[in-house]
Amino acid sequence: MITVSDLSLTFGGQNLFKHVDLKFVAGNCYGVIGANGAGKSTFLRILSGQLEPTTGEVAIDPRTRMSVLEQDHYKYDEQTVLDTILQGNARLYDIMQQKDALYAKPDFSDEDGALAADLEAEFAELGGWDAETEAARLLEGLSIGEEHLYDMMSALPTREKVKILLARALFGHPDIILLDEPTNHLDIDSIRWLEDFLMDYSGTVIVVSHDRHFLNNVCTHIVDVDYTQIKIYVGNYDFWYDSSQLMQKLLREQNKKREDKIKELQSFIERFSANKSKSRQATSRRKLLESCR
Ligand SMILES: Nc1ncnc2c1ncn2[C@@H]1O[C@H](COP(=O)(O)OP(=O)(O)OP(=O)(O)O)[C@@H](O)[C@H]1O
Ligand SMILES: [Mg+2]
């Protein structure tokens, strides 16, 4: 559903990503992890189209709708909570505006009637009749009473603005949701509610988080951003952690075996290269030693 091909990104001569190829499959929940500054937020900005990669491309089925958790807490200060959430589904919000403008016209022509009928059909199809109820339900899950739907965003404290932006990202059943550290600033009840929401959600979720418990509860896959590479692993965070530890142990053991072999060959070569009868063997072991390096 999302295909990333040969993606590279360079900032000021430094490679943040180099030749990354990935596939995100519909219906999975991907937890994006990596050290501070590894490029998690930047990767999400590329997926959402906010940032152009240096090479490569991100292909997304054009019929799918993507929602992104916005980071600017003050962006919607001049509008109501309800409008801010409803705009999460841009097409639905646009239809609502067009309908309102049409019905407010003093001279309602036959053409206007036909357009209104089309808009009403699409409005119903997009769940327009339930939109306000859904917005209220999202608020309730985030412990904000529905009486606040008509508050101005500017009237809310930051911790509640963050919840409205989250409700906006979750509103209207998007096909893909991108969330960058959604649990920051959230109280524990809201985090648990978000976990339940994402577990029941049938679309694709790509979420950056440092919260191990949260990742374990919601993720089907882990996306590890590490030194210019991005790799996807099946399983939740603990599964990824245990298997990456095991992998490192195996690699260490393999390296130890390789080093032991090299030492053994070196000592053989030293002992026998002067000895004529063994020199052919010493030569072949020298070749083997070259191939081990
Ligand atoms: N527009 C830019 N120009 C130059 N460098 C940038 C730009 N945006 C991000 N960077 C650099 O790219 C790197 C990755 O930043 P990013 O914010 O994506 O990391 P992150 O993994 O989200 O980190 P954190 O866990 O702290 O949120 C950082 O070194 C950052 O300084
Ligand atoms: Mg970040």
Distance of CA 136 to CAs 45, 124, 156, 219, Å?
A: 29, 18, 16, 26
Distance, CA 39 to ligand 1 centroid (Å)? 5
**pLDDT level of residue 269 (50, 70, 90 thresholds):** confident
Max Cα–Cα distance, the chain, nearest Å: 109
* 3-state SS assignment for residue 244: helix
Place of tokens 């070196």: 266
Q: How far apart are CA 182 and CA 198, in angstroms?
A: 12
Give, for ligand 1, the residue of 10, 40, 54 to mutate: max count of ligand atoms closer than 8 Å to Cβ: 40
Mean pLDDT over the full length of the chain: 93
User: In the structure, which protein residues have their CB atom closer than 6 angstroms to any atom of ligand 1?
Assistant: 11, 16, 34, 36-42
Residues with Cβ within 8 Å of 241's Cβ and at least 6 positions away in sequence, in order, are none
Place of tokens 């075996």: 257
Q: How far apart are CA 155 and CA 135, in angstroms?
A: 18
Q: Using one digit for the tens of pLDDT, what is the confidence trace for 6-39?
A: 999 999 889 999 999 999 999 999 999 999 999 9
Q: Using one digit for the tens of pLDDT, what is the confidence trace for 95-147?
A: 999 999 999 988 889 999 999 999 999 999 999 999 999 999 999 999 999 99
Q: Using one digit for the tens of pLDDT, what is the confidence trace for 224-240?
A: 999 999 999 999 999 99
pTM value surpassing 0.85: yes
Domains of the chain: 1-64+175-235 (3.40.50.300), 72-171 (no CATH), 253-292 (no CATH)
